[in-house]
Structure 1
Amino acid sequence: MKFNNLSITYFGRMAILVLACGFSTDLQAQRFPGRAAQKLDPIVEQIVKEAKDNSELEQLAFELLDVVGPRLVGTPQMTKANEWALQTFEKWGIPAKNQQFGEWHGWERGISHIDMTYPRQKSLAGTQLAWSPTTNGKAIEAEVIPLADFKDSLAFRAWLPQVKGKYVMISMPQPTGRPDANWKEYGTPESIEKMNKNRDSLSAAWNNRIKATGLAPYSIPTVLEDAGAVGILSSYWSGEFGANKIFGARSHKAPSLDISLEDYGILYRLAEKGYKPKIKVETSSKHLGNVPSFNTIAEIKGTEFPDEYVILSAHLDSWEGGSGATDNGTGTIAMMEVARVLKKVLPNPKRSIIIGLWGSEEQGLNGSRAFVLDNPEIVEKTQAVFNLDNGTGRVANINGSGFVHSYDFMGRWLAAVPNEITKDIKTDFPGSPGGGGSDHASFVAAGVPGFMLSSLSWGYFSNTWHTNLDTYDKLVFDDLLSNVILTAVLTYKATEEPKLVDREKRVLPADRNGQPATWPAIRQPRRSGVGY
């Protein structure tokens, strides 16, 4: 019997899956109640012992974050990171290679100084944006002016000659440097409401100011430098004390600098009240032409199914405001540590284990997307992909990425993990496929069961994600150790499966317009470029 070209048995199966999804949290609680009498697989016991007794997480973090530092694509530090990862894997007896997938505009930061010279002297807290043009080691002193308020684009064009020979501020000055949580803790209801109204009013006015230029925000720096501006100043506050988002420059001739909220506010108030502040900027960054971009790929060869794979996924590259600690140094060192533990405990797994440390994730998953397209024979026979990429916290959520049978096989693999690790993990099966937030999405688009092991926040998005505060001191090693044990056990169980898991995809619900939703498509990587 047919109904809208679908069989009744199909609807029966989907009804069962809906029920399973509805009770996934309850079943999770039944499966992982934290029972003291849990009987662990002997291999799992060895994994736990090795991970706890001989952890190299702190040493790996030191070498990657303090010695190598941030890993912006196209920089010498990214090259050093690829070489460091290669040497580390080889030290553990794990064959590895750096697989080129493209090239990027090369850039080296160098030393920079930003000082206010008038109306008083003060060293300013700030940094060049990634790929920023340089002053070539010369100190350029000039007046600072804010982007003016315009009625329309004609008024903006008439004002443009005033920027010649000046540093131009293009960000809204913040009315407060205190996070919302700080206001909530200490402010009165009246003062909080007043501040919120003030901030909303300023934001609306600034957005209208940008709109009146007739330009997209990212186009403004180019127009200003073409009009003779000697530098572009911005301040992208994250909403937390001392944290600014640090991304890439949109200028091509004039240096682009991010200034801390506090110092940006000083300059803005001085300029607004007619004091004509001056700053002196000296940078020695270098443009290096096009340089190769790599993924670092390591492999523990399987014995029974050597041409079938489980992939440990993390991106090695980072932005450059801090040292790329929680995005994604934590994912990198955790996956490397998983490889070390498994190599010692399980040197001859049934399936091959690939560790993929991807490049240029921050510019659009370029490394992992290239790997998917360049290695179809691996993608075709990949059992599962486990991805770590959202901070230092212990894994708290696992989504089935839209694979119908993920509840079955992921449920079995999770059941083998110690209860102390899984007791607070929430699952969503079959879940939905991710659209491209991290590297597992590159594999999901190709029909491979890829799972984001989502971590507790620890203030990730406001404190460390792409900020100047993303540094070693923010790491929580106890949580990282938990993630190593979880991922190592999941990987072990995935390698032990009698056969490759069923990749059946769920029927996705309609989108907000009532149109049938479609599975994410495989996307082409950017194999060359600069900036965004």
Structure 2
Amino acid sequence: MTLRKNHHWQKSSKRIGGVRKFMAAAPLVLFAVPAAGQQTDDMNRVIDQGLQHSQVMQVAQYLTDSIGARMTNSPQMRRAEAWTQWQFRTWGLKNVRKDGFPFGRGWSIQWSSVRMATPRVIQLTAMPIAWTPGTNGWVTAPIVVAPMKHERDFEAWRGKLAGKVVLVSLPNDGDEPGDAPFKRLTDEEIHKLDRYHQSEYDPAGIERQSKRFAFRAKRDAFLKSERAVAWARMSYRDGKLLSGEGYTYGVGETPALPGIEIAAEDYRRLARLAKTGPAPVLQFNCNVKFDDSDVNAYNILADIPGTDARAGYVMAGAHLDSWVAGDGAADNGAGTVVVMEAARILSSLGLKPRRTIRFALWAGEEQGLLGSLAYIEKYLATRMPPSGKPLTGEDAFLRWPYTFPIKPLPGYKDLVAYFNIDNGSGKIRGIHAEGNVAATSLLRDWLQPFAGMGANTVVSSPTDGTDHVFMQAIGIPAYQFIQDPLDYGTRVHHSGVDTFDHLKAEDLRQAAVVLAGLLLESANSEKALPHMPIPTQRPVTNPFKYEDPKDD
């Protein structure tokens, strides 16, 4: 799977040298605190190390301010891969390595500028969309507002797009929030999560979503054939927030035309001007760079070895990759530094757990949980579609959980617990049992020492959209934490304000202590969390449902 491993490692070694030199000038991240006497209870030592000697914010500051946004296979992600390995080794972890899987092209923004030139000059809040090509210099062109969601929309715009910047989103009237953007969960809100959810299997819905993904390539081909010069979409949130999300990372999938995301307020202004008078003219320059020197992405893995090789291992993970509108601080620099700090805490105490404790920093999460899926297929279980061809990209995200049969690999039973953290900077309030009712009492026992820190609830409900999902889909006891939302969903998630300033030090210290404690409990416990049954092919949940043709 590591197609160009040797070439890439030579380049990474040079970067490690640069990081080593820098970090020597920043000793806060490096020095280890002597462990307390062995007569002290191990859990008290974890709490003391994590709260009184924390290094979580120093690590977060370097990751976000110095390295910055980490889109998979970008130059910044390569720096993060090298630095996190070096940091794990500095803290004394063992078997530190990068674990590769096929991904696609590297892409980064060198710089960009977008302005309205007529009817007056305004600098717009806008950015290139990930993995779209650059402009090769300044481009000046009028806009046309041509919303397109389906192939049937193409005919209305045939012959009208040549030389234009095509605004493909339908303008709306705004989405000013009705609630405060920053909040913490109340006990009542947490307890409402304790509801068992029956999952659904809707193959028609999966097909609809697959068609939506495929539509992007068809729209790009249409715009190219009509000789448009670029396309633009409206940001999905107000407040001048951008995300720049894009998914055409595969080799051979790069669009023909530059794509630009424009802040909602600026986009609506352009649309109003186009509606009431001559279409505005844009001037823009998108200077982006592709890197095809290594098409593999890399998960970062590190271990604290256990004393009983037959007891298996427990694992904690967060995704290291991010989008590039901001610095990837809350999503998911926060989870990354909590996992790293938990590793530092446990390693610094010189503990000898019964089970190995493994730490994972995933790549490709933002493109469909690709890094954790690659780990599963390499070490835990495989699922092969009827076509016999492995699922890739967004099709893997959509179809992998519903592909049968599941074939456990020899390492399937070795992983006895996985804990994932990926909900921003808020403190841990509890854990989702993901419908594993047999695990709830043990999870409650393990959380009990942290009740005074606010982490004391186990709820039945599942969560989705992050790296524990595919482990759950093969029956592994894999869990995501309940966290205070803060301003994660309202303005930080994937946006340009996802910076260090939105990280909360007290919350991150608490989260690292809780995670380290749960890992220690699960690594030493005589009892193991029960696996769920390995799923098998299931019938459609609602065989009587009629599909709405408007959804196509």
Please tell me the TM-score bracket, short chain as reference: 0.7 to 0.9
- Determine what percentage of the aligned residue pairs are the same residue: 29
List aligned pairs for 1:121-140, cutoff 5 A: 121-136=121-136, 138-140=137-139
Does the aligned pair in 1 maintain the 2:474–2:534 contact within 8 Å? Answer: no
**Residue 446 in 1 paired to residue 449 in 2?**
no
- CA gap of 1:227–1:506, structure 2 versus 1, over 3 A, is closer
CA contact (8 A) 1:130 1:249 kept: yes
Larger mean Cα displacement after TM superposition, 480-489 or 99-108: 99-108
How far 1:43 sits from its partner (Å)?
0.9
Superposed counterparts of 1:24-39, under 5 Å: none
Note the C-alpha offset of 1:378. 4.2
Q: 1:195-214 residue pairs with structure 2 within 5 A?
A: none
TM-score normalised by the chain length of structure 1: 0.76
> What one-letter code is carried by the residue in structure 1 that aligns with 2:465?
G
Task: Give the distance between the partners of 1:182 and 1:433, measured in 2 at CA.
Answer: 25
Distance 1:405 1:41, change over 3 A: farther
Q: Equivalent residue for 1:529?
A: none
Cα distance in 1 for partners of 2:500, 2:522 equals 32
Find the aligned partners of 2:73 and 2:319 in 1 and give their Cα distance: 15
Q: Distance in 1 between matches of 2:99 and 2:148?
A: 50
Alignment match, 2:295:
291
- Equivalent position of 2:155 in the other structure: 157
Q: CA offsets per residue over residues 308-361 of structure 1, 9 Å max, x none?
A: 111011111112221111111111000000000000124322211100111111
Distance 1:222 1:54, change over 3 A: farther
1:225-269, Cα deviation, whole Å (9 max, x unpaired): 33111111111222x523234311667122101111222122212
**Of residues 482, 485, 506 in structure 2, which corresponds to 1:457?**
485
The code of the aligned residue for 2:144 comes to: I
Deviation at 1:408, TM superposition (A): 2.9
TM-superposition CA deviations, 1:408-431 (whole Å, max 9, x none): 32122112x2322245x4322xx3
> Hey, what's the Cα distance between the residues in 1 that align with 2:147 and 2:476?
51
Cα distance, 1:353–1:306 mapped onto 2, change above 3 Å: farther
Deviation at residue 404 of structure 1 after TM alignment: 4.0
Shift of 1:499: 5.1
Secondary structure of 2:158's partner? helix
Among candidates 325, 330, 338, match of residue 326 of structure 1? 330
Displacement of 1:41 in angstroms is 7.7
- Mapped to 2, the partners of 1:327 and 1:275 lie a distance apart of 41
- Pick the aligned partner of 1:362 from 358, 361, 366: 366
Structure 1 counterpart of 2:426: 393
SS in 2 for 1:405: helix
Give the deviation of 1:303 after TM superposition: 1.6
Q: Is the 8 A contact 1:51 1:484 kept in 2?
A: yes
Alignment-mate amino acid for residue 472 of structure 2 = V
Could you tell me which residue of structure 2 aligns to residue 382 of structure 1? 415
CA separation in 1, counterparts of 2:117 and 2:430?
51
| 1:399-452 Cα deviation digits (max 9, x unpaired) | 22233421232122112x2322245x4322xx3666x52111222223221111
How do residues 105-144 of structure 1 correspond to structure 2 at under 5 angstroms? 105-136=105-136, 138-144=137-143
Q: Which residue of 2 aligns with 1:414?
A: 447
AA of the residue aligned to 2:287: S
* Structure 1 unaligned regions, length at least 5: 1-39, 184-214, 516-532
Aligned 1:59-78 pairs, distance under 5 A: 59-78=58-77
- Tell me which amino acid in the other structure corresponds to 1:502: P
Cα separation, partners in 2 of 1:153 and 1:465, compared to 1, 3 Å: closer
Instruction: Give the match for residue 518 of structure 1.
Output: none
Once the two structures are TM-superposed, the CA of residue 287 in structure 1 deviates from its matched residue by 2.0
463, 469, 472: which is aligned to 2:497? 469
Counterparts of 1:76 and 1:486, CA distance in 2? 33
2:253 is equivalent to residue 254 of structure 1: no
Distance 1:487 1:218, change over 3 A: same
Change (3 A) 1:433 1:473: closer
Partner of 1:166: 164
Mapped partners of 1:426, 1:510: distance in 2: 33
- Give the whole-Å Cα distance in 2 for the aligned partners of 1:241 and 1:180: 14
Partners of 2:153 and 2:285 in 1: CA distance:
32
**Code of the aligned partner of 1:336:** M
Q: Could you tell which deviates more after superposition, 55-64 or 304-313?
A: 304-313
C-alpha spacing 1:413/1:41, structure 2 compared with 1 (3 Å): farther
1:211-290 matched pairs, under 5 angstroms? 216=215, 219-238=218-237, 240-248=238-246, 252-289=255-292
Contact 1:316–1:359 (Cα < 8 Å) also in 2: yes
| Aligned residues of 2:318 and 2:421 also touching (Cα < 8 A) | yes
1:220 to partner: Cα distance: 2.9
Q: State whether residues 160 and 224 of structure 1, in contact with CA within 8 Å, keep that contact through their aligned partners in structure 2.
A: no
Choose which of 373, 396, 407 in structure 1 pairs with 2:377: 373
Question: 2:35 maps to which residue?
Answer: none
**What one-letter code is carried by the residue in structure 2 that aligns with 1:330?**
A
Aligned to 2:394: none
Aligned to 2:16: none
CA distance in 2, matches of 1:78, 1:134: 20
> 2:188 maps to which residue?
none
- SS of the residue 2:71 aligns to: coil
Residues 334, 228 of structure 1: alpha-carbon distance in 2 compared, 3 angstrom cutoff: same
CA distance in 2, matches of 1:418, 1:180: 34
> What is the letter of the counterpart of residue 339 of structure 2?
M
Contact 1:314/1:335, CA 8 A, preserved across alignment:
yes
Which residue type is aligned with residue 285 of structure 2?
E
- SS of residue matched to 1:162: coil
Shift of 1:512: 5.1
* Counterpart in the other structure of 1:146: 145
TM-score if structure 2 supplies the norm length? 0.73
Q: 1:325 to 1:219 in 2, by over 3 A?
A: farther
Give CA-to-partner distance per residue, 1:48-72, whole Å, 9 cap, x none.
1111111111111111111111111
Give 2:457's aligned residue. Answer: 426
Is the 1:125–1:263 contact (alpha carbons within 8 Å) kept by the matching residues of 2?
yes
Offset of residue 86 of structure 1: 0.6
Aligned residue pairs: how many?
437
Task: Give structure 1 regions of 4+ aligned residues with deviation exceeding 6 angstroms.
Answer: 152-155, 506-511
Letter in 1 for 2:476: V
Give the CA deviation at 1:506: 10
Q: CA RMSD in A?
A: 3.0
Give the Cα separation in 1 of the matches to 2:485 and 2:540. 28
